[in-house]
Chain A
């Protein structure tokens, strides 16, 4: 089973593709319709960050099966400018682009696991997991 999907993220239209792929994979993995929407939304937020701040990057979606626990793994990677202060970026309402500032903290709230690795000049990688319950 080819359970990995990769979408390159460069423009707004790619966000739509990424969302669509995420929703499909989530549906195939057995997530409820509400969870599919949540997963699509989290994908939307992190890929939006790539388009807004890094211009181009990549989203990889795959299904996980670890000892009977099944779920979906979402990795968003870019070589953009990186995030100098991760704690600040993860704070609700903080944005350097005049947006609502809920993208990253919101995505963390709705996923089961969330990890953000970034340093100035080193790009950003966001890894998110959601388990099937």
Chain B
């Protein structure tokens, strides 16, 4: 069951990272892997397979000596799974098949490293230890000429670098995923459209408006106008520090779109500096309906909608007599 989930995760990542057959071939080319490497790797297949457990131990012993690798070693479940996958990796490394299936297995291990927060440099350190052990074992094979052993090892190293490329890419990709998700959620959070009264919406804009965000603001505003059957929208831009021609253009477009949906837009919160600089620069915003501050804007909006706000005293009518 768990294996199925893991495999699905590997396959999904494979797609997200664009690791198709062509990409895998490109990666082999990058490390200089050729058909002539296959027999050289085959020559050390038995040696590596027989001692796979030793090499796995080398790899994890090195990691357990490092503080930086603690998350991977500390959890028994993760460490066990990583060991198992590492062993499969070593065996697969010398089988001569480096296609989609091979890459998929490497990805599963990469995801595990990423989850444990293993840094690329820590992984590289341990992987180098492992290669060093394989290398010295290969060179110690007495029945082969040293030059043959060296060539076999160098061919295997191409695969090792192919694997390193994959693992490092996964670690980076997964780290960036967090950043991408955070950016997404900031964007989501940053464009609330609030209903103040029946048919009156408030759109407070804070921070930097770029093209992407302007689109989101327009979208969520138009959606809310329809959902709330809004007639008036108060757009407050007190929190927008700089309004240049591009931002002005975005604002104008948002307002025009809202108008097409039948809503009247009042823009509030233009600071004195921004107003002055817009005029100096020659940016034409007279098409916008602006009101000094948010309070004024809301009052205007209420007037348009026919609301009259009274204090409790005035609204209560004449006080009862005799009290």
Task: Name A residues whose Cβ lies closer than 8 Å to a Cβ of B.
Answer: 12, 16, 19, 33-34, 36-38, 40-42, 44-45, 48, 92, 99-100, 102-103, 105-107, 109-110
Contact = CB atoms under 8 A, between A and B. Distances in A.
Contacts of B211: 12
Contacts, number: 66
Nearest to A101: B245
Contacts of A33: 273
B273 A102 contact: no
Interface in B224-281: 242-246, 248-249, 272-274, 276-278, 280-281
A38 B282 contact: no
B284 interface: yes
B273 A106 contact: no
B19 interface: no
B207 to A, nearest CB: 9
A51 to B, nearest CB: 10
A18 B208 CA distance: 13
Interface of B: 208, 210-211, 242-246, 248-249, 272-274, 276-278, 280-284
A100 B283 contact: yes
Given A12-B211, A102-B282, A106-B282, A38 B248 contact: no
A106 B249 contact: no
Nearest to B246: A48
Contact of B208 (A16, A45, A99, A109): A16
Contacts of A100: 245-246, 248-249, 283-284
Given A41-B244, A106-B245, A34 B272 contact: yes
Contact of A110 (B246, B274, B281): B281
Contacts of A92: 282
A16 B244 CA distance: 11
B277 A34 contact: yes
A86 to B, nearest CB: 18
16 contacts: A12-B211, A16-B208, A33-B273, A37-B273, A37-B274, A37-B277, A38-B277, A38-B280, A38-B281, A41-B242, A41-B243, A44-B244, A92-B282, A102-B284, A103-B244, A106-B245
